[in-house]
Amino acid sequence: MNSAILGTGSYVPTRVLTNADLERMVDTSDTWIVERTGIRERRLVAPGQACSDLALQAAQRALLAANVKACDIDLILLATCTGDAPLPSTACLLQHQLGATRAAACDISAACCGFVYALSIADAYIKTGMRHVLVVASEVMSAITDWTDRNTCVLFGDGAGAVVLGQGSQHSGILSTHLHANGRLPEMIHVPGGGSREPASKEVLDNKRCFIKMKGNETFKIAVKSMEEAAHEAADANGVAMADIDVFIPHQANMRILKAVSQRLGLGQEKLMINLDKFGNTSAASIPLALDEAVLSQKVQKGQLVLLAAFGAGLTWASALVRW
């Protein structure tokens, strides 16, 4: 039996940061951002709003859609690189806020691939007998963004997405997941300070070591190749032709990356789910955020083949094929 996605949910904070706002903060322009990234605006948390607050909203919506009560969740996996604090896990905070008293809970750290990694782990637990797993991806990227660095600050946004996994049938649900990592290139995308290597200090703060640094151009090329490879792997493992994919939901990093990947896969624009124009790159949250929008707008319909592909820091890359 496959595990099935019983319900989806998402949440974004209400505060909108437009490209025009960014023009007033760094040396950039709406034209440059739209042409180079496809992003028009992104959402930012309100002061005091944290990762678990976004996760709670998304999780509650997913539980409602799945018609599953919080007390019936066995496990909560929360994918994030921007948790409320280093300790305890944000998943435990969410467990309490939801009242999911029976659920085990832990965070998953796989950057932008976090959701697909967590989905894969959840799938394995359901296949071995667990009844309900809540997978949430929630990110407050604004907390690790250097708002004076035009190379990165135009790219990221805050948001959360969630799915509830349960027992499915033999021919529908999660057909496969594939996960990859290559730790040889950690500096491609990283936050160098604030961990045990460079603990939080005035120096770390002064040198902006607690903010995200990225080699954008090199990352771009690897992202396209890796997502293409992961997508093919998903199709091949299931004996499915790329033409049979109905909806392609890639990690929302950059419009040019999404278009290049779907073009290489031979997937038409009508099959590609895009919402990064509204939310930017929300790291682990981007796929479940886009998936929930696709479900609510009925772009994803029962019986369809949905392909998820992600790429991120680590480096990590991953895919999942779902029969809806």
Closer by beta carbon to ligand COA, 32 or else 104: 32
Q: How far is the CB of 99 from ligand COA (least distance, A)?
A: 33
Q: Cβ of 71: how many Cβ atoms within 10 Å?
A: 11
Closer by beta carbon to ligand COA, 125 or else 156: 156
Residue 100, CA atoms < 13 Å, CB-side half-sphere:
27
Q: Is 314 helix (H, G, I), strand (E, B) or coil?
A: coil
Closer by beta carbon to ligand COA, 65 or else 223: 223
Residues 6+ apart with CB under 8 A from 292: 8, 9, 10, 58, 61, 62, 161, 162
Q: How far is the CB of 54 from ligand COA (least distance, A)?
A: 19
Residue 174, token pair as written in the block: 């999660």
Residues of this chain that bind ligand COA (CB under 6 A): 28, 32-33, 36-37, 112, 150-151, 154, 189, 214, 216-217, 219-220, 223, 253-254, 257, 281, 311-312
Closer by beta carbon to ligand COA, 127 or else 215: 215
Q: How far is the CB of 5 from ligand COA (least distance, A)?
A: 23
Distance CA 206, CA 151 (A): 19
Q: How far is CA 156 from CA 138, 150, 225, 306, in A?
A: 13, 11, 21, 25
Residues 6+ apart with CB under 8 A from 47: none
Closer by beta carbon to ligand COA, 36 or else 213: 36
Q: Residue 153 in contact with residue 147, Cβ under 8 Å? A: yes
Paired sense of beta strands 75-79 and 41-44, if any: unpaired
For the chain, counts of helices (H) and of strands (E) = 11, 13
Closer by beta carbon to ligand COA, 194 or else 216: 216
Distance CA 163, CA 160 (A): 11
Distance CA 114, CA 166 (A): 19
Distance CA 246, CA 268 (A): 10
Annotated catalytic sites, by residue?
Answer: 112, 251, 281
Q: How far is the CB of 248 from ligand COA (least distance, A)?
A: 17
Closest-approach residue to ligand COA (CB): 216
Q: How far is the CB of 179 from ligand COA (least distance, A)?
A: 15
Cis, peptide link before residue 192, omega less than 30° from 0: no
Q: How far is the CB of 61 from ligand COA (least distance, A)?
A: 25
